[in-house]
């Protein structure tokens, strides 16, 4: 039976287990460039025992940053800075490293979260924002500029260039950010997309631009490396984007050879009414998984316990568990999960002697070195 610690492959990428570190914005970049924070942060996650680490939402152009502290991959400076962090990470572990490429759309140009997160004024470090339609994220804030044909091409080209940079950096896979109210999600939802051209109106039209982005990225990223998409399966609002439409998108992505879909929800509008509880987003992943056959499905959302995560995989509700806050709180979550489930896991030799006596056989590579 498949469980949390069953190995997996995704094209040429081998994963030791089904635990994924979700992309989590750190807001510690300088002009889009990774800093010492990213080196330490990503290094910590790389030795956590997770099978895959996804680098935080990384903007494909400066205007696509959520905040001035967002990571970017849009010029030589941002590429060089990220290269340094990746080289340090690779020096300590061979965990699979993916990157989430995205554009914040109308939610760009915001203060850092710990500074309130509100929209930055143009005369206070803010910048012009872009979206499918000129509809502000919330009342009283500056409306975005609706993307014209030239703007759509610029965004498309930005994703392609970022994917090419990711390939040069040796990144193992790409996740396109189509969730949480950012640009690609804004195209998908009828609440934020009120265009009258081929990119608005019908479901087919609203899916068109995100699918074009997928096709363009897939065409330039190495064919033996995975490309997938993160989606919000529901806007948690009447007449918004929902699971039925998400399934339609997933099926279109699968037709194109998409390798995985990471199923989250919400973030499009501040009026959303989310019912939160343990595993509250798992039914969305389960619904998508039932509708696709070849594409891996990631589940997220208040999955905090080892048994809970293992059961989701064993019951075939999802193929991978993506952890965010839980692994920030406990960067050794995979070790503790393995111990709870009676499994083994690899760990850096420098940490082998740190095990308590009752878990002395936890580290598989330590056991092998002892001939156990």
Query: In whole angstroms, what separates CA 157 from the centre of its chain?
Result: 20
Query: In whole angstroms, what separates CA 169 from the centre of its chain?
Result: 18
CA separation for the pair 12, 295 (Å, rounded): 15
| Residue 27 among the catalytic residues | no
Is 239:271 a contact under the CB 8 Å cutoff? no
- Give the count of beta carbons closer than 10 Å to the beta carbon of residue 287: 18
44's tokens: 């910590």
CA separation for the pair 94, 348 (Å, rounded): 11
In the chain, where do the E strands start and end?
A: 8-10, 13-15, 19-21, 52-59, 71-72, 96-102, 130-131, 145-146, 173-178, 227-232, 260-264, 296-299, 320-323
Q: Is 126 exposed, middle or buried (0-12, 13-18, 19+ CB in 10 A)?
A: middle
Is 225:193 a contact under the CB 8 Å cutoff? no
CA torsion 263-257-199-284 (nearest 10°) is -20
Instruction: Report which DSSP code applies to 65.
Output: -
SS3 64: helix
Determine which one of 27, 182, 199, 214 is catalytic. Answer: 182
> For residue 56, how many C-alpha atoms fall within 13 Å in the half-sphere facing its CB?
26
CA separation for the pair 208, 6 (Å, rounded): 36
For residue 15, CA distances in Å to 181, 256, 366 come to: 30, 23, 19
Compute the residue count for the chain: 372
CA separation for the pair 265, 241 (Å, rounded): 10
Instruction: Report which DSSP code applies to 345.
Output: B
Name the residue among 89, 148, 142, 52 with its Cα closest to residue 348.
89
360's tokens: 């002395």
Question: Which residues are catalytic, by number?
Answer: 182
């Amino acid at each position: 039976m498949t469980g949390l610690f069953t190995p997996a492959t995704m094209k040429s990428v081998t994963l030791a287990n089904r635990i994924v570190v979700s992309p989590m914005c750190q807001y510690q970049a300088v002009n889009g460039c990774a800093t010492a924070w990213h080196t330490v942060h990503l290094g910590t996650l790389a030795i956590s025992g997770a099978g895959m680490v996804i680098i935080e939402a990384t903007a494909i152009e400066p205007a696509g940053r959520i905040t001035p502290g967002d990571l970017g991959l849009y010029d030589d400076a941002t590429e060089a800075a990220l290269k340094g962090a990746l080289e340090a990470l690779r020096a300590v572990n061979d965990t699979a490293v993916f990157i989430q490429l995205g554009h914040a759309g109308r939610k760009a140009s915001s203060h850092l979260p710990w500074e309130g997160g509100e929209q930055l004024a143009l005369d206070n470090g803010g910048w012009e924002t872009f979206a499918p339609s000129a509809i502000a994220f919330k009342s009283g804030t500056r409306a975005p500029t609706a993307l014209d044909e030239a703007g759509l091409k610029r965004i498309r080209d930005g994703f392609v260039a970022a994917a090419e940079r990711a390939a040069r950096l040796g990144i193992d896979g790409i996740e396109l950010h189509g969730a949480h109210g950012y640009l690609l999600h804004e195209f998908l939802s009828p609440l934020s997309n009120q265009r009258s051209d081929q990119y608005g109106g019908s479901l087919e039209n609203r899916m068109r631009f995100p699918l074009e982005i997928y096709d363009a990225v897939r065409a330039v990223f190495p064919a033996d490396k995975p490309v997938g998409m993160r989606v919000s399966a529901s806007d948690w609002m009447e007449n918004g984007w929902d699971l039925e439409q998400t399934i339609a998108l997933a099926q279109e992505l699968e037709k194109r050879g998409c390798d995985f879909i990471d199923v989250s929800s919400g973030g499009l509008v501040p009026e959303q009414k989310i019912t939160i509880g343990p595993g509250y987003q798992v039914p969305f992943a389960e619904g998508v998984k039932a509708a696709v056959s070849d594409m891996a499905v990631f589940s997220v959302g208040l999955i905090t316990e080892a048994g809970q995560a293992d059961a989701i995989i064993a019951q075939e509700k999802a193929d991978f568990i993506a952890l965010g806050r839980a692994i920030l709180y406990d960067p050794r979550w995979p070790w503790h999960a393995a111990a709870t489930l009676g499994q083994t896991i690899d760990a850096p030799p420098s940490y082998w002697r740190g095990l308590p006596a009752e878990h002395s056989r936890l580290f598989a590579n330590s056991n092998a070195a002892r001939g156990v």
